[in-house]
Amino acid sequence: MFKNQNFNYAVFGNPINHSKSPEIHGFFSNQTNVFHTYESVNVPLDEFVSFLLKFFKKHGKGANITAPFKQEAYLFCDKLTERARIAQSVNTLKKVNNKYILGDNTDGIGLLSDLIRLNFIKKNNSILILGAGGAVRGILFPLLSFGCSVFILNRTLSNAEKLVVQFSKYGKINIFDKNSSEKKHFDLIINATSKYDKNNENNIDVSFVSSKTCFYDMNYHKYDTPFFSSYIKKRSNGIGMLVFQAAHSFFLWHNIFPETNYIINSLKRNMK
C-alpha cells in the first residue's frame, strides 16, 4: 500500500504524480529543523478510508488530502475546526494525542495569506469568483470573514445559488448576473473553475474590469490563463496559495509557521 512504511505525513489523492506538496514540506522540514517525513500516496478511488485507517494505525501523524477526496475526508474526521466545518471539506488531518483525528481546511486561509502577500486584497473589496465547485466552498468563509463582498458567477446557476444560501450568514454574498445592466468594477477576480481555456463559459465582458482590478487564478500551471490577459496587469497563479495552505497545515501539525517567500519564488521560477 505504501512505498516507504515509516513516513509520518503524506498527501493522499488521485492522481497524485503532479503534487508539489512533498517538495514544499521537505523544504519546510529543512528550514525549521522539524523532523517531518512526507510522501505522496496515490489512492484507488474506492479505497480512501481503508488507506487512511491503515496510515493512522501505523506511523501516520498527519495528512494532506487533495482531489477527489476532500469531502470524504470531512466525513472521516472525529473533530473539525470551525473553517472545515463551515466548508464541509477537509484538506488537512491531524492525529491528536493518539486518540482522535482532527480535520482542518487550510485552502481558504492559504488563498487569503497569498492575496495579502501580493497586496491584492483589502477589507471591503468587491470580489468576483468564477466557479462554484469544491474549491470555492473552501475559500468563501475566510474571504467573507475578512470583510469582502463576494459575487459568484458559475456556468450552472443552481450550484452558485446553493453556495449563496449556505454562506450568506457569514457575510455579503450574491450571484453575479453578467447580463445585468448595472455596471460595476471588481477589485479582484478569482478563477476557481477547473477549466481555464478560451471556451470557459465564465469569461465576462471587460467592462467589469478597471485598471486597478487584480486577477488571481487558483490553478497553477505553466501558462498564463487567457482570462482578461490583455487588460489586467496585476495577475497571479495559485502557487502562493499552494505554499500557504501547506504552511498552515505545517503549523497545525508542529505549531511552527515556516517561511514561505523563498519556496514560492523558487517554484514560480522553475515553472518558466
Q: Classify strands 126-130 and 149-153 as parallel, antiparallel or unpaired.
A: parallel
Per-residue b/e over 114-132, b at no fewer than 16 CB within 10 Å?
A: bbebeebbeeebebbbbbb
What is the CB-side half-sphere exposure of residue 162 using CA atoms within 13 A?
Answer: 11
Q: What is the dihedral of CA 251, 72, 54, 12, to 10 degrees?
A: -60
Cβ partners under 8 Å of residue 132, min gap 6: 152, 154, 156, 159, 160, 162, 163
The contact pattern for ligand ATR, residues 131-170, with x = CB under 6 A and - = no contact, is: xxxxx------------------xxx--x-----------
Stretch that binds ligand ATR, among 25-33, 128-136, 243-251, 262-270 (CB under 6 A): 128-136
- Rounded CA gap, 272 and 267, in Å? 9
- Is 26 annotated among the ligand-binding residues? no
- Is 247 annotated among the ligand-binding residues? no
- Is 21 annotated among the ligand-binding residues? yes
- Is 73 annotated among the ligand-binding residues? no
**Closest CB 135 distance from ligand ATR, rounded Å:** 3
Q: Which listed residue (58, 61, 70, 212) is catalytic?
A: 70
Cα 78 to Cα 60, 107, 269, distances in angstroms: 16, 20, 40
Among 195, 212, 221, 233, binds ligand ATR (CB under 6 A): 195
- Is 238 annotated among the ligand-binding residues? yes
Residue the block writes with cell 482531489: 67
Site size for ligand ATR (CB under 6 A):
16
**Closest CB 130 distance from ligand ATR, rounded Å:** 7
* Cβ count near 64 (within 10 Å): 26
**Closest CB 119 distance from ligand ATR, rounded Å:** 26
Q: Looking at beta carbons only, is 156 or 174 nearer to ligand ATR?
A: 156
Q: Helix/strand/coil (H, E, C) string of 244-270?
A: HHHHHHHHHHHCCCCCCHHHHHHHHHH
- Is 78 annotated among the ligand-binding residues? no
Stretch that binds ligand ATR, among 119-127, 174-182, 188-196, 252-260 (CB under 6 A): 188-196
Q: Looking at beta carbons only, is 193 or 225 nearer to ligand ATR?
A: 193
234 is catalytic: no
- Is 20 annotated among the ligand-binding residues? yes
193 touching ligand ATR, by CB under 6 A: yes
Report 28-87 residues binding ligand ATR (CB under 6 A).
67
Strands (E), the chain: 9-13, 38-42, 62-65, 79-80, 92-96, 100-104, 126-130, 149-153, 173-175, 186-191, 209-217, 234-236
Among 42, 149, 200, 266, binds ligand ATR (CB under 6 A): 200
Please report, in range form, the residues annotated as the binding site. Answer: 19-21, 66, 82, 91, 107, 131-135, 218, 220, 238, 245
Please report, in range form, the residues annotated as the binding site for NADP(+). Answer: 82, 131-135, 218, 238
Footprint of ligand ATR on this chain (CB under 6 A)?
Answer: 67, 131-135, 154-156, 159, 193-195, 200-202
Residues labelled catalytic = 70
